[in-house]
Structure 1
C-alpha cells in the first residue's frame, strides 16, 4: 500500500478554515451574534443542529484525502460544503483559491462543471440514456459537440473496463458495472479534484473489493486530487494518503493510516483503528533501531510494510540491515520488534 510523503511545500488545493454548518431557524442569528464562540449548550437551547463544528484542514494537490466517521459525524456535510452544494454558516472554504462561500452562482456552476468530478453512493444514472450517453452527459451540459463528447466517453469506457457496453441501458448492468459508469462519467471532464461520497457502500463485499482495486488502478494512472468519504476504516486505510476522522461534526484527528493506528488521539480513534493489523500499515522506518557494525544479510527497504518483510526478519537469527532509497544503510530491525507489531503490541516495549 504505497503512501505519498506529504511535505509543507506541497500545493494546497482545498482550504477549510474554521468551517461551521448549522441547521435550524435560529442558525443565522446565532452565527451572526456568536461567530466561532458557539457552545453545545447554546445550540441545544436554540434548537440548532451543528453538522460541522469549527473544521479546519488543507488538502494537497495529488493526494487521496479520506474523511471518515460514523453516521452523523459530519463527513458528508463537509463534502457537500467542499463541492458548493451546501454553504458554510461560518468560516471559509476555498477550492483552487476560490472561496465557495462568497462565489457567485455562475462561478460555482463553472467550478462544478470544469474543476470537480463527483461520484455518490447512489449511481444516479439517467435511465433513458445508454451507457455511452450517460458517460458523455457532463460534456453535453458543457455544450461540447456530440462527436467530441462521445469520443471522450468511449475513452472513459475503455479506462474503466466497459468497452462493448456502449448501447446498453443502465438497468441491464450489474451494480459494479453501474458504479463504473458513474466513475467514468465523473472523469469525462478531466476534473482537477475528484469527490467520492461512500461510492462503494451499496455493493456486496466482493464487488466492493473489486471497485477498491479499480480505484487504486485508476489513481495510479491519473494521479487525481481526491476527497473520499467513507465510514469503513479498512477501506480508508487501503485507499488513503491521509485520513481525517470526524465525530459530532468535529475533526478529532488527521494523519496517515500509520499515524492513526500507532498514535490514536483518543478512544474514539482507537476504536476505529483497533481491528486493523498493524503489520499491514506500519513501515520499517517506524520501528527500526540504529544501524550497528557487523550487520549481515540482505537489506530491507525502510519504506516496506512490516507484513512484507516479517518472514525475512523473523528467520534471520540476527538484526537485519535497513536501507534507504539510495541504498545506504540507515538502521537495523530485529525479530522482537517485528513480533510486537504482528501481535499488535506496544512497539516501544
Structure 2
C-alpha cells in the first residue's frame, strides 16, 4: 500500500473557494479567477508516494508546490479532494490526532533552518522530542544519535550562530530524523545554501536515504536537484501537475513543450543510463568473448565513452546478475550524447 496518496486535491483561496473549484472543473481559466480575487494554488493534484521513496515536486515560483506540501500534513486543508497517510484521511482527523500526526509521524525540514538561537545544537536537534514529551535523557540520547547521522558529532554543545549555513541545515535535518518520523517533508530545504554546500547536503541526504529508507517528499525549483535526488519527479505548472515520472522518463519523453523546455539544458550524460538507450541485440552475444565489452544497466552515459572506445562492437549491457539486457551501438551512444533528441537516439 502507498504511504501517501493525494486524490484530486484542490486548494483555492478567496471568498468562495468551493465555487472556485467548481468553476475550474467546468473549464474556467486560472487567470480569470485570479482577476476576480480567487487564487487556485493547487488544481486537481493526484499522486502516490511509496514507502522508502524520494518523491520530488518541482516547479517555478508560484506553481503551487509549497501549498501542495502543506496539504500533506494538514497545515492547509484541501478545498476539495483528500490526502491519505497510511490509508487515513488527514483532513478528517480531529485536532488532537492531527497534532500527534505532525509531532510523531511527519516531520518537516524548512528552507531557512528554523533553529532556536538560544538553544544548543543538541537541544535544537531534540526539540521535536521535547514536543512529544520525552524525558530529557532519552531525547538527548536520540538527538545525539541523529546529529551523529548527519556528521555533527562533537558539536552538541555549540550554538547555532557558531555553525556554517550547511551545518545549521544539518541540525534541521537531525531534528527531523530524531523523531523517527515515517514521512519527511522538505520544502526547498537546500535552496538557501551556496552551490557547493548544497551539493554536499544532497550527498548527505542520499547517503542517509540508503541507510534509513525514509519516505520523503522534497520540494524544489531546481531541475538538476530534482533529477539528482528524486526516485520520481512531479512537475508542476500553474497549480497543476503536468508530468510524473523518473528523471529518465521526463528527459526522454517530456509530456509537453513546457516540460521539454525545462529539460533542454540538462546534462543528459549524467542522467541517462545505459538501460535508457540500449536495444535488443540483433544477434546472439557471447559475453565470454574477450572482445566483448560490457557495461551495467545503471552506468551513466558519460561513463560509457571509455568502454565504447575499446571496441568496434556494440557495448553489451548487463544487469546485476551479469545477464545480457541489451546492446548499445556507438552511433546510438553518440547521438544520445549529442543534440539529437533522446527518443530518436533510442531508435537509431
> 1:302 aligned to 2:297?
yes
In the alignment, is the contact (CA less than 8 A) between 1:116 and 1:194 conserved in 2? yes
Give, in angstroms, the shift of residue 329 of structure 1. Answer: 2.0
The residue number in structure 1 matching 2:150 is 160
In structure 1, list runs of 5 or more residues that go unmatched.
1-10
In the alignment, is the contact (CA less than 8 A) between 2:9 and 2:43 conserved in 1? yes
- Determine helix, strand or coil for the equivalent of 1:261: helix
1:251 is aligned, of 241, 246, 258, to 241
Give, in angstroms, the shift of residue 319 of structure 1. Answer: 1.2
In structure 2, list runs of 5 or more residues that go unmatched.
none
In the alignment, is the contact (CA less than 8 A) between 2:104 and 2:181 conserved in 1? yes
User: Which runs of structure 2 are paired with 1:3-82 in the superposition (5 Å)?
Assistant: 11-31=1-21, 36-37=25-26, 39-40=28-29, 43-44=33-34, 46-82=36-72
1:338 is aligned, of 326, 333, 343, to 333
Give the TM-score normalised by the residue count of structure 2.
0.93
In the alignment, is the contact (CA less than 8 A) between 1:279 and 1:305 conserved in 2? yes
Deviations 1:288-320 (A, max 9, x none): 222223554132222322222222123311112
Give, in angstroms, the shift of residue 117 of structure 1. Answer: 1.4
In the alignment, is the contact (CA less than 8 A) between 1:35 and 1:90 conserved in 2? no
Q: Distance in 2 between matches of 1:55 and 1:36?
A: 13
Q: Distance in 2 between matches of 1:194 and 1:310?
A: 38
The residue number in structure 1 matching 2:140 is 150
- Determine helix, strand or coil for the equivalent of 1:194: strand
In the alignment, is the contact (CA less than 8 A) between 1:278 and 1:344 conserved in 2? no
Give, in angstroms, the shift of residue 46 of structure 1. Answer: 4.0
Larger mean CA deviation between 50-59 and 264-273 belongs to: 264-273
1:265 is aligned, of 255, 277, 283, to 255
Give, in angstroms, the shift of residue 195 of structure 1. Answer: 0.8
Q: Distance in 1 between matches of 2:193 and 2:240?
A: 28
Deviations 1:215-263 (A, max 9, x none): 1111111110110000000101111100000000000000000010011
The residue number in structure 1 matching 2:120 is 130
The residue number in structure 1 matching 2:93 is 103
> 1:176 aligned to 2:166?
yes
2:308 is aligned, of 303, 309, 313, to 313
- Determine helix, strand or coil for the equivalent of 1:168: coil
Give the TM-score normalised by the residue count of structure 1.
0.92
- Determine helix, strand or coil for the equivalent of 2:126: helix
Larger mean CA deviation between 292-301 and 332-341 belongs to: 292-301
1:326 is aligned, of 321, 325, 333, to 321
- Determine helix, strand or coil for the equivalent of 2:113: coil
Give, in angstroms, the shift of residue 164 of structure 1. Answer: 1.5
The residue number in structure 2 matching 1:187 is 177
- Determine helix, strand or coil for the equivalent of 2:78: coil
Give, in angstroms, the shift of residue 78 of structure 1. Answer: 0.7
Q: CA RMSD in A?
A: 1.7
Q: Distance in 1 between matches of 2:325 and 2:131?
A: 55
- Determine helix, strand or coil for the equivalent of 2:154: coil
In the alignment, is the contact (CA less than 8 A) between 2:83 and 2:89 conserved in 1? yes
The residue number in structure 2 matching 1:293 is 284
The residue number in structure 2 matching 1:117 is 107
In the alignment, is the contact (CA less than 8 A) between 1:66 and 1:227 conserved in 2? yes
Give, in angstroms, the shift of residue 131 of structure 1. Answer: 0.6
1:217 is aligned, of 186, 199, 207, to 207
